[in-house]
A and B are shown apart, each in its own frame.
Chain A
């Protein structure tokens, strides 16, 4: 099922990335760009796409940054913005954290559809970036039904 809908699937490395990858049948057949903070994920992305008969994905990295590293966060934001401007995705899908938030935030102003799936780790309250992402995401999801509200986030299942 070939599609022309360009999808940017973005998450920082670690648990966010592991969760993002479990969603990949959602964009089967679409031209997809993966973006993360560790270049070492390229191999698994390429190998899996070939094994599953998917179009060859694009793979990009953005700078790693935690929330205390202001300068690195700015560099990361500019890196994400560059990906949006050059790839022009129709849809952005992210499981967090900072690079995903930046993509949803900037994507909102660029008129893109944006999906925030808050990490399954956040069962008591949404993550900080998840709370902030709500007003920019066209689809705002939690993986815990107890955290869903009529005004969002919605619950539509989990990555497990």
Chain B
């Protein structure tokens, strides 16, 4: 199963539309989406099952069952993917397209795109190509494992402040 997630705030048509088109061509691949409702003007997925909101437990469970994550380049999606050792294709929201206030998702994608299991798609064609590739490899795309906690030195700095 592929899990599509665009975060808790805004719709993301530029990601949802190509995924939906891809699903139309691959009806045998199960895809589940947590996709903010785009309203009447936006693109409502017709070829995969989706919901606007997932309770945290459902989100985590869906994430854990997925073979591949397709998400916006939000830290929640990326850290959770690394934590659960899932490959993730991220598409950053862009300021120029009014998908975000500034280009921090683009910066995040550029900085974390070299981590094992993290793949960056900058546009629709890129995303479609990544999905085709993923299907071809049977979703064997690695998945970055990280420790369950923040860096020791950051935790030490916080602990010092707490017990000051």
* Residues in A lying within 8 Å of B, measured CB to CB: 3, 5, 7, 13-19, 22-27, 30, 38, 40-41, 43-44, 66, 90-91, 93, 113, 115, 117, 119-125, 138-139, 141, 143, 156-160
User: Which of chain B's residues have a CB closer than 8 A to the CB of A30?
Assistant: 162
Q: Mark B141-160, 1 if CB is under 8 A from A, else 0.
A: 00000101111111111110
Q: Can you list 24 A-B contacts (CB < 8 A)? A: A7-B162, A13-B56, A15-B7, A15-B76, A17-B76, A18-B80, A19-B79, A22-B148, A22-B149, A22-B150, A23-B149, A23-B150, A23-B154, A24-B149, A27-B158, A41-B56, A43-B56, A113-B164, A120-B108, A122-B104, A139-B161, A143-B154, A158-B151, A158-B154
User: Which of chain B's residues have a CB closer than 8 A to the CB of A27?
Assistant: 158-159, 162
Q: How distant is the Cα of A156 from the Cα of B156 in the complex, in angstroms?
A: 9
> Which listed residue, B80, B102, B105, B158, touches A26 by the CB 8 Å rule?
B158
User: Which of chain B's residues have a CB closer than 8 A to the CB of A18?
Assistant: 75-76, 79-80
User: Which of chain A's residues have a CB closer than 8 A to the CB of B8?
Assistant: 13-14
Residue ID in chain B nearest A64 by CB atoms: B8
Q: How distant is the Cα of A23 from the Cα of B151 in the complex, in angstroms?
A: 8
A96 CB, nearest partner CB in chain B, Å: 11
Secondary structure type dominating chain B contacts: helix
B163 on interface, CB distance cutoff 8 Å: yes
* Residues in B lying within 8 Å of A, measured CB to CB: 7-9, 55-57, 60, 74-77, 79-80, 82, 102-105, 107-108, 111, 146, 148-159, 161-164
Q: How distant is the Cα of A22 from the Cα of B155 in the complex, in angstroms?
A: 9
Closest 10 interchain pairs by CB?
A157-B154, A15-B76, A26-B158, A15-B75, A157-B151, A156-B157, A40-B56, A40-B55, A159-B150, A157-B153
